[in-house]
Amino acid sequence: MNDNNSSEIKFLQTNITKRVTTSGIMVGVGLVLSYLNPFAYFTIFGARINPFAHVINAIMGVLVGMLFGLTTAAILAALRFSLAIGSIHAFHGGMSGAFVVGICAYILWKKAPKYVEFAALTEPLGTVFIGGSIAQLITPIGLFAWWGLFAASCIPGSVIGFIILLTLKKANINREDFF
């Protein structure tokens, strides 16, 4: 193997390591914010309204991409559910939001990379419309009720995530560092 291929493999391994490490750290941050801050969430109709989970989804979908963002959301939902600080709705709500942010971040990164942080604001599209619709299938209380509950959680979270991403951008930490 020549030196060029060897350096390219090391570069790819470094970027995957960064994404895995960032995902692990953000799972911990999301769990701590969910657990230690009881005023950050409240329960309505079995759904725990927790904007901090959506902050993590918005940041991860933009910085590390759809696959790692989706994985982070799934692990965070599983841990929150198993520790009784999250509901079953954390799975489809968080994962659908992370999925949409990851897809939108990829598209913006290819078409208009200087605006990639705006993908964080698309998190409600996945969480409200996909996650809320799935929640209606699980616990039928009314589709618009679920959409409203999910919106109450994810809109503030995605805005906070967007602000954090802009702050990270000013500190020269952006998506390019992970790919």
In-domain check, residue 87 = yes
**How far apart are alpha carbons 141 and 93 in whole angstroms?**
16
Phi, psi (5° rounding) for residue 29? -65, -45
Each residue's pLDDT tens digit in the chain (179 positions)? 455 666 656 655 778 899 999 999 999 999 888 877 666 666 776 667 788 889 999 999 999 999 999 999 999 999 988 988 878 888 999 999 999 999 999 999 999 999 999 999 999 999 999 999 999 999 898 899 999 989 988 999 999 999 999 999 999 999 988 88
pLDDT at 38: 61
Q: Which residues span the domain enclosing 71? A: 51-178
Beta strands, E only, the chain: 42-44, 47-49
In-domain check, residue 44 = no
In-domain check, residue 42 = no
In-domain check, residue 12 = no
In-domain check, residue 142 = yes
In-domain check, residue 108 = yes
Q: Classify 48 as helix, strand or coil.
A: strand
pLDDT at 49: 76
Q: What is the pTM of this model?
A: 0.87
**How far apart are alpha carbons 101 and 88 in whole angstroms?**
21
Q: Please tell me the total count of domains within the chain.
A: 1
CA–CA distances in Å: residue 127 to residues 11, 112, 172, 179: 34, 24, 29, 26
How many C-beta atoms surround the C-beta of residue 99 within 10 A? 22
In-domain check, residue 67 = yes
Q: Within the chain, what is the greatest distance between any pair of CA atoms?
A: 62
In-domain check, residue 134 = yes
